Amino acid sequence: MPVQTSRRPPSPQPGAPGRVPPIIPSQGGAGGRGPGGARKRRRKDPLWARLTLIFGAVLMMTSGVAIVGVKAFIGKATSSIDQGNLLGEAGKTKAEGGKNLKGPIDMLLLGVDARKSWAADDVRSDSIIILHIPATHDQAYLISIPRDTEAHIPAFEKSGYKGGTDKINAAFQAGARNGGGWEGGAQLMAKTIKGMTGIGFDGAAIINFGGFKKIIDTLGTVHICVSHEVKSKHMSYVDGKPMWNSDAEKLHKPMTAVVHKAGCRDMKGWEALDYARQRYGLPNSDYDRQQNQQQLIKAMAKKATEKGMLTNPIKLNQLIKAAGESLILDTGGVPMADFIFTLKGVTGNDLVTLRTNGGTYATNANGRESLNDLSMRMFEAVTKDDLANFVVANPRVLSTRKS
């Protein structure tokens, strides 16, 4: 692919001033389309966006080992991953370097809570993460957008939505209605975010819960640090086994709440996922949950690129299969093998997790959650591919979670 002359300026070269080191010291603190069927009682706190099956299909496969450096193998291995048009009008234009992976890469990762009993057009995306990879392709940044952020959601012809102001997580639901489906939901979410931040996207992914847990189970465990003890609002032990509360209640047996104790340890899939879902009982509620989600993504990426995990064809195929079962991916018209091969220099240790609003709530004149000036300048730095220098100058945007 030729390099677009209109592409944004490249990021600092490795070792140059302004590049964030691959490992940032902690600054404190311990597939398919939407399901059909009628909707039953919704969980008040949706499951977190199983966010990173994209790393099972993309970032976690980029350790540079020989087996994943062969495009033919990558193409065959990822053929089961569902692809769709998730960006619509929010894809990068030619002037922004669209359909060209020579410069910086920006992806939108959306997590949805989907149950077989829920209607496909009544799902919100409650985990929204921007993945930014600078032009050097040797580092990656994760930025979470708070689910309750007030946003102008533009009109969307596909679903008949007339436009309005609402929480940003409602954009997915508004786009999915009236036959828009999950693709419509993602397109309207991407369009809303581009209008708010100015960031156009090279790709996007929708991730559902089931496959996310399968990836962690395939990895075995992930190393997670719990900063504050928190009691699960969703799971309990029955006869020593963890169960969803809704299932446990049907057994009419004694239930003991799952409690995530402070400290660092290896967690199985169900435990890591349940911890990443918690917000009630944490000092900064959803902002703490965002950081815990990012920590889990980084832990998964690190586990996948250690101990020869990706040099084992059987294990690698298991990871990709788990990803493909609950992942819809849009690579912006670029062949998936090219997309993955481009990221071969990024590993789990190169993931830098960032936070908006200093990790706590910020409200506007309407009393609604909003993005403060520092956060908006951070998004501007993404569009200029100058995020490394911005982080060095504003270290408080770094996540405080251990990893």
For 347-351, what is the mean pLDDT? 72
CATH of 53-227+262-397, one of 2.30.30.360, 3.90.700.10, 3.40.630.190, 2.40.160.20: 3.40.630.190
Name the percent of the chain lying above pLDDT 70. 71
Pick from 197, 169, 150, 196: nearest CA to 367:
150
What gap in Å lies between CA 267 and CA 217, rounded to an integer? Answer: 10
Tell me the torsion sign for CA atoms 144, 352, 399, 263. Answer: positive
3-state secondary structure of 30: coil
Tokens of 318: 């298991």
Q: What is the pTM of this model?
A: 0.73
pLDDT value at position 175?
Answer: 94
What gap in Å lies between CA 77 and CA 73, rounded to an integer? Answer: 6
Tell me the torsion sign for CA atoms 220, 222, 223, 226. Answer: negative
What gap in Å lies between CA 186 and CA 82, rounded to an integer? Answer: 14
Tokens of 259: 């409690």
Tell me how far apart the terminal alpha carbons of the chain are, to the nearest angstrom.
37
Give pLDDT tens digits for 215-238.
888 888 999 999 999 999 989 999
3-state secondary structure of 373: helix
β 150-153/164-167 pair status: antiparallel
What Å distances lie between residue 403 and 294, 300, 343, CA to CA? 10, 11, 22
pLDDT exceeds cutoff 70 at 395: yes
Pick from 95, 85, 109, 110: nearest CA to 333:
85
Number of H helices, E strands in the chain: 12, 14
Give pLDDT tens digits for 118-139.
455 667 777 899 999 999 888 8
What gap in Å lies between CA 128 and CA 147, rounded to an integer? Answer: 7
Residue 3 burial (CB < 10 Å; 0-12/13-18/19+)? exposed
Give pLDDT tens digits for 76-104.
656 666 778 999 989 998 888 777 788 99
pLDDT value at position 16?
Answer: 44
Tokens of 344: 């071969």
Give pLDDT tens digits for 202-219.
999 887 755 577 788 888
pLDDT value at position 348?
Answer: 65
Place of tokens 């004694």: 254
pLDDT value at position 318?
Answer: 76
Q: 149 - beta bridge partners?
A: none
Name the percent of the chain lying above pLDDT 90. 35
Give pLDDT tens digits for 290-302.
788 878 878 887 8
Contacts of 100 (CB under 8 A, 6+ apart): 1, 2, 3, 4, 7
Contacts of 384 (CB under 8 A, 6+ apart): 8, 9
CB atoms within 10 A of CB 186: 30
Instruction: For 374, list phi and psi in degrees, rounded to 5.
Output: -60, -40
Displacement of CA 385 from its chain's centroid (Å) = 20
pLDDT value at position 186?
Answer: 94
What gap in Å lies between CA 311 and CA 302, rounded to an integer? Answer: 14
Tell me the torsion sign for CA atoms 263, 269, 271, 273. Answer: positive
Beta strands in 56-173 (DSSP E): 82-83, 105-112, 125-133, 140-144, 150-153, 164-167
* C-alpha triplet 42, 48, 51: angle, nearest 5°: 140
The dihedral region occupied by 207, where left means phi > 0, alpha psi between -120 and 50, and beta the remainder, is beta
For 184-206, what is the mean pLDDT? 94
96-114 b/e (C-beta count within 10 Å ≥ 16 → b): bbbebbebbbbbbbbbbbb
Displacement of CA 124 from its chain's centroid (Å) = 15
Tokens of 350: 């190169």
pLDDT value at position 368?
Answer: 84
What Å distances lie between residue 8 and 133, 381, 389, CA to CA? 13, 11, 15
What gap in Å lies between CA 399 and CA 403, rounded to an integer? Answer: 10
* Mean per-residue pLDDT of the chain: 76
Give pLDDT tens digits for 240-297.
999 989 899 999 999 999 999 999 999 998 999 889 888 888 888 777 887 888 788 7
